[in-house]
Amino acid sequence: MSNSATIRRQRLTPLWLLLPALAILVPMFAYPLYQLGLLSLFDYGQPQVSGGVPARFLGLGNFRTLFGDQVFWTVLGQTVVFAAGCVVVTLAVGAALAVLLTRVGRVARTTLSFAALAAWAAPAMTGSVVWMFLFDSNLGLVNEVLGLPGYNWLYERSVAFALVGAVVVWHSFPFVMITLYAGIQAIPESVREAAALDGAGAFTIFRRITAPMLRPLITIVVIQSIIWDFKVFTQIYVMTRGGGIAGQNMVLNVYAYQKAFASSQYGLGSAIGIVMTVILLVVTLFYLRALRRTGEAL
């Protein structure tokens, strides 16, 4: 094989290797994303879907409708509060347990790791359903133990959110725990020993050595959690039966889905999807900056 042929093949190969991935991602990911943006600019409802009426271009009309609607702002507000609550609790529990894992014996460590793995592995659907059963107003174990027969945990907005949040945390703290534990393990023992020799106490070692060395990992875990918890769908949809009593437990994802598929306002639903995408893109920019600061070479 001549030299120039080798070079040409070298240049072509990455494209061939990427081709299968692009053949799936362009039509099934990029194009729908483009369509989502397009749909958000149209009045697209049941008459248009059935084919009788042409779609009417609204420009930013759907967004104007959305931003003028008090319900949208309520849903946006509670999505942010709900996600923030889930993130904070998940991280607190995950980090505390990661530190705990470094302090316990082998048996306790294996037991906790396996238990966490089981919660992590449980599908969102089964998690939701099992917790619903545990907190069922008539047959639930929790009401029985607490002596609250007939108490409905889904009746009040904040209580229902707290219950769904607990399920989300139960599903997601294992990721934080195992990742941070691996991170702590990766810090060389010699660094801590050196600090201890220089007279640093356990708290100082944690504050001045462990925490700063873990900071890049923590940033990544925080942002991953924000992205996951902002997009919670199954737990809310299943546990509160599609958004709670009179829609009191709506989050943006469920709201978009209901607007599109329950009330056939596909254009408006897409506009909500675009708002979510923009919010998450901003979070992603922070993520990219954080990645760059960890010194990652893309």
CA dist., res. 63 & res. 75, Å (int): 15
Contacting another protein within 204-233 (CB under 8 A): 217, 220-221, 227, 230-231, 233
Question: Which one of 75, 164, 168, 272 is in contact with another protein (CB under 8 A)?
Answer: 272
Q: Which stretch binds another protein (CB under 8 A): 64-72, 94-102, 151-159, 191-199?
A: 94-102
Q: Which stretch binds another protein (CB under 8 A): 52-60, 128-136, 156-164, 206-214?
A: 128-136
Site string for another protein, 129-158 (x = CB under 8 A): xxx-xx-x--x-x--x----x---------
| DSSP string for residues in 158-214 | HHHHHHHHHHHHHHHHHHHHHHHHHHHHHS-HHHHHHHHHTT--HHHHIIIIIHHHH
Number of residues that bind another protein (CB under 8 A): 95
Among 176, 291, 285, 168, which Cα is nearest to 222's? 176
Among 212, 267, 247, which Cα is nearest to 74's? 247
Site string for another protein, 38-57 (x = CB under 8 A): xx---------x--------
Burial 84-100 (b: 16+ CB within 10 A, else e): ebbbebbbebbbebbee
Contacting another protein within 163-182 (CB under 8 A): 170, 175, 178-179, 182
Site string for another protein, 12-41 (x = CB under 8 A): -xxx-xx-xx--xx--xx-xxx-xx-xx--
Site string for another protein, 238-267 (x = CB under 8 A): x--------------x--xx--xx----x-
Among 65, 27, 25, which Cα is nearest to 270's? 65
